Amino acid sequence: MSSLSRRGLLVSGAAGVLGVAGCGGSPSRPAATASATPTTPPTATAKAPASAHPSATNPAVSASPTASLPVPTAWQPSSNDIQPAVKLRAVRLIEALGNWGQGGQGQAAARQRATAAGYDPALAAEAGTLLSAAPEAALQVLEAQYGGILSDSASVLVVCRQWTPGATGGATVDVRLIGAQPQWRVTALHPSQPGAAASTLSTAARKVLASDAITLPPAALADVRSGNVHDSALEAMLTLSKAYRIELSVVRSGHPIDVFGTSRPSDHPKGRAFDVWRVDGHAVVDPATSHALVDGFMRAAAAAGSYNVGGPRQLSGGTGNQFFSDDTHHDHVHVGFDHS
Interval 290-314 mean pLDDT: 97
How much is the average pLDDT of 7-27? 40
Residue-level length of the chain: 340
Q: Domain containing 294 — which CATH number?
A: 3.30.1380
Report yes or no on 176 lying in a domain.
Answer: yes
* Within-domain flag for 198: no
Classify each residue of 155-173 as buried b or exposed e, where b means 16 or more C-beta atoms within 10 Å of its C-beta. Answer: bbbbbbbbbbeebbbbbbb
Rounded to 10 deg, the angle between the 84-98 and 107-116 helix axes is: 150
Nearest to 321 by CA among 21, 18, 16: 21
Condensed to tens digits (0 to 9), the pLDDT of residues 54-105 reads 333 333 444 455 558 999 999 999 999 999 999 999 999 999 999 999 999 9
CB 32 within 8 A of CB 339: yes
Q: Residue 21 and residue 258: Cα distance in Å, rounded? A: 10
Q: What is the mean pLDDT of residues 142-146?
A: 98
* Statement: residue 201 has pLDDT above 60: yes
Rounded Cα gap, residues 230 and 204, in angstroms: 9
Percent of the chain past pLDDT 90, that is, above it, reads 76
The parent domain of residue 235 ranges over: 203-336
- The confidence score (pLDDT) of residue 319 equals 81
The number of distinct structural domains making up the chain is 2
- Please state whether the predicted TM-score (pTM) of the whole model is above 0.85: no
Q: How far apart are CA 258 and CA 267, in angstroms?
A: 9
Region 287-302: mean pLDDT is: 98
User: Is 138 in the same domain as 227?
Assistant: no
**Are 227 and 331 part of one and the same domain?**
yes
Q: Could you count the other beta carbons within 10 Å of the beta carbon of residue 68?
A: 11
Q: Are residues 187 and 216 in the same domain?
A: no
Q: Looking at the domain assignment, is residue 116 inside a domain?
A: yes
Reported as a single tens digit per residue, the pLDDT across 158-194 is 999 999 999 999 999 999 999 999 999 999 999 999 9
146 and 9 within one domain: yes
The answer to whether residue 257 scores a pLDDT higher than 70 is: yes
Q: How far apart are CA 122 and CA 233, in angstroms?
A: 37
Task: Say whether both 157 and 88 belong to one domain.
Answer: yes
Q: Are residues 185 and 218 in the same domain?
A: no
Pairing of strands 273-279, 282-283: antiparallel
Helix (H) or strand (E) holding 297: helix 291-303
Within this chain, do residues 159 and 209 fall inside the same structural domain, yes or no?
no
Within this chain, do residues 223 and 114 fall inside the same structural domain, yes or no?
no
